[in-house]
Chain A
Amino acid sequence: DARVTQTPRHKVTEMGQEVTMRCQPILGHNTVFWYRQTMMQGLELLAYFRNRAPLDDSGMPKDRFSAEMPDATLATLKIQPSEPRDSAVYFCASGLGQGDSPLHFGNGTRLTVT
């Protein structure tokens, strides 16, 4: 089965350090999404790419977060500097870019910032 792959699965870091999370979308999918999941906020959309171009990153704190797609097989989400409030599970999802097709999610990166 084709699947979205995320690395690392777990990351523990100290406040102030840079964190990079990676995602390999499903081959042939042209949309990539980053979501954050916390106990209090549920699933929040952070950023959204179509054909590697960022379309919407309004959910992302711009001063410390950045999302890129260096190529069609890799999406990255960086936090610099990280803060304890960034602790969450970060999910990447990819899709066909059609309004009536589902997104497929990876198993997430659990980030803990101490």
Chain B
Amino acid sequence: GESVGLHLPTLSVQEGDNSIINCAYSNSASDYFIWYKQESGKGPQFIIDIRSNMDKRQGQRVTVLLNKTVKHLSLQIAATQPGDSAVYFCAENRAAGNKLTFGGGTRVLVKP
């Protein structure tokens, strides 16, 4: 499958533990943020999104936190499972109309 970067930061997590993946963004005008998960051989898959008028949003086993003051976004995965092993990307919408800019990605490895 695709190798999305030999130099990706990697987070090793024990199965069952919680994971926290961080992302810094640069454009204070960005108003919409998304987390994607990319598994080997597949395209990025939507996980969860958040608008800039919110600071927290929860999904199934995932929570996204947005700190606009320091331009920081995080993804928390509860009770990490082997199927969560993937590369995770944050993306920001810097202009009207869906045009997303992606961060460099974080590889998550779940140890059984």
Contact = CB atoms under 8 A, between A and B. Distances in A.
Contact of A56 (B5, B31, B99, B101): B99
A79 interface: no
Interface string A80-99: 00000000010101011111
Contact of B2 (A31, A37, A104): A37
B98 interface: yes
B93 A110 contact: no
Nearest to B4: A37
A56 B4 CA distance: 24
Interface in A57-114: 89, 91, 93, 95-108, 110
A107 B97 contact: no
A110 B102 CA distance: 19
A99 B92 CA distance: 10
- Output the residue of A39, A89, A100, A106 with the most chain B CB within 10 A: A100
A42 B46 contact: no
B61 interface: no
**Is chain A's interface secondary structure helix, strand, loop, or mixed overall?**
strand
Interface residues of A, number: 31
Contact of A89 (B2, B101, B102, B105): B2
- Output the residue of B2, B6, B42, B49 with the most chain A CB within 10 A: B2
A98 B46 CA distance: 16
Contacts of B112: none
Interface of A: 4, 31, 33, 37, 39-40, 42-43, 45, 48, 50, 55-56, 89, 91, 93, 95-108, 110
14 contacts: A4-B43, A42-B102, A45-B100, A50-B97, A55-B97, A91-B44, A95-B98, A98-B97, A98-B98, A100-B31, A100-B32, A100-B93, A106-B43, A107-B41
4 nearest A-B residue pairs (beta carbon):
A105-B43, A95-B98, A43-B102, A102-B46
